[in-house]
Structure 1
Amino acid sequence: MKKQLPIFLMQLSAAFFLLSSCVKEVPADYPLSLNPGPDFTVPDPANSAKYEFISVNGACSDAVVEGAYTVGKAADATNFIRVTVYVTRTGTWTMKTPVVNGVSFAGQGTFNDTGLQPVKLLASGTPVRAQTYNTTMTAANGNCSTTFTCEQP
């Protein structure tokens, strides 16, 4: 029994060391948050617009992803999503997507009219892998998704 305890403790220590030393390497320019930049502000909820996506089976009916997404090349002003929303209350709006493959989309503004209104979400970040990815936007009536493709340089 006395010999088994030190062996068990050694095995436990080795397992702890192996599990705690496994770290995924993340590129230095990989965006680790959804913060799209210093000019991005959170609107006052009392003045917030209410809007809904026009979606078909969870996909945005008219979402268009613009620009070329190339592995290792940072997104610029030519990279964005255009989508139409149905506004039921005017006011300020803010929308952002999660980071997918190093890229996220975000936008904000003010809806001055109700009805159908265009929204533009600018891309930020740098694609990491070449593949087609799904990204999701959220509004009062739920989520709406679209795809974007990242290619090799």
Structure 2
Amino acid sequence: MQRIMFRHPILSLSLLLSLLFAGCAKEKSYELPTDPGTGIPVPGGGDAAFAFVAAAGNCSDAKAAGIFLTGKILDADANVTVTVNVTRKGNWVLTSNVVNGMLVMGTGTFTQTGPQVITLRVTGLPQTAGVSNILLGTGTVGCGVAITVSGDDTTGENDYYYKITVSGQVYEQHATEDNHYIPGSGLDGVDDVNFSAGINYSDISGGVPPAGTTGFGVKIGMMHNYMSASDKAFTDFFALGNYSYVKDFNTAKGVSIYWLDPQGEEWSTQAGTADQTGSTFTIISTADAKAFNGLYLKTKMQFKCKLYNVNTGAMKEVTNGEMVGTFGKI
């Protein structure tokens, strides 16, 4: 038996914002060490002793999570995780310098020595799109973490979107409260499942979509034992990093992409020859979408691929692909 379900986890952007603020827990307060002359936070602090696991000047496993958009204040779930090697127990405080309007900071207490993963909060207002390399420091020892900032979004209405370049032409569609495009989530299967995220036109009145309407979707699979999977197992399934394109989800974990072009033609990475030599797909960040009817991950993806017409097998190359959509544990 197979089930395919689509839900719109966010009824409106205004409702999403209210849920975001309602769900913020009271944070622990702490004092950051500051430069006596300027009052600016400085790296390091506390009586614990620890060091980063570093490689070539970068924190070897430092990862940023969250949605980083220019012109938008970072949500409470924007963070960096990194492994440190603790050599003396005690309190710790860690900060970075301000880079591209963002500050990384955290505090806590180590109760044991050895390797441990710490979580640092990222705050601020990103100013410029691109990769920001932020130095994390403990006294004179430091290493860097890369945070990718994209798209400017001063209104908050362009959080969910797709954009691709096909034969030199840019196609872009955002989901807003009043344009009938929604960030949908899909589930295909029962206990062995594939997850879908889409930006598609939906008119509850049943009207015919206007000419030039497009649609876009990303599918990731296959996850086994879904019926008994924990929330953590679901979240871990969408780990940050690179994924391969697959023609058959029964053979390997991977992704596929679907596009409905303005002329109504359907294209897919799984159609035609499905050859994806030279193609790439990366999950850049994930964050809790704060939906009220299930667990949803707001996911940012970047990619390039070859799309094949599902009817003729003709091929078009996609470059500069990017999407922010939601995958749901429905």
**Same fold flag (TM > 0.5):** yes
Secondary structure of 1:68's aligned partner: coil
Instruction: Please give the alpha-carbon distance, in whole angstroms, between the structure 1 residues aligned to 2:116 and 2:139.
Output: 15
What is aligned with 2:95?
A: 96
Q: Distance in 2 between matches of 1:38 and 1:62?
A: 26
What is the deviation of 1:129?
A: 1.1
Equivalent residue, structure 1, for 2:104: 105
What is the rounded CA distance, in whole Å, between the counterparts of 1:38 and 1:84 in structure 2? 22
CA separation of 1:141 and 1:116: change in aligned 2, threshold 3 A? farther
Task: Give 1:63 deviation, angstroms.
Answer: 0.3
Measured in 1, the distance between the counterparts of 2:140 and 2:98 equals: 22
SS of 1:110 mapped into structure 2? strand
SS in 2 for 1:150: strand
CA RMSD of aligned residues (A): 2.0
Change over 3 Å in CA distance of 1:91–1:126 after alignment to 2: same
* Corresponding residue for residue 40 of structure 1: 30
Unpaired runs of 5+ residues, structure 2, are 1-26, 34-45, 154-330
Cα deviation for residue 141 of structure 1 reads 6.6
Aligned-partner Cα distance in 2 for 1:146–1:69: 14
- The secondary structure found in structure 1 opposite 2:72 is coil
Structure 1 segments, 4+ long, off by >3 Å, are none
Partner of 1:88, secondary structure, is strand
TM-score by length of 1: 0.69
Higher relative contact order (CA 8 A, sep 6+): 1
Is residue 138 of structure 1 aligned with residue 128 of structure 2?
Answer: no
Partner amino acid, structure 2, of 1:121 = L
1:57 shift after superposition = 1.2
1:119 equivalent in structure 2: 118
* Within-5 A mapping of 1:46-61: 48-61=47-60
TM-score by length of structure 2 reads: 0.33
Query: What is the deviation of 1:121?
Result: 0.8
**What is the aligned partner in structure 1 of residue 67 from structure 2?**
68
**Matches of 2:123 and 2:139 in 1, distance apart?**
24
Q: Secondary structure at the match of 1:41?
A: coil
The 1:87/1:141 distance shift into structure 2, 3 A limit, reads farther
- 1:139 CA displacement: 2.2
Q: Which residue number corresponds to residue 85 of structure 2?
A: 86
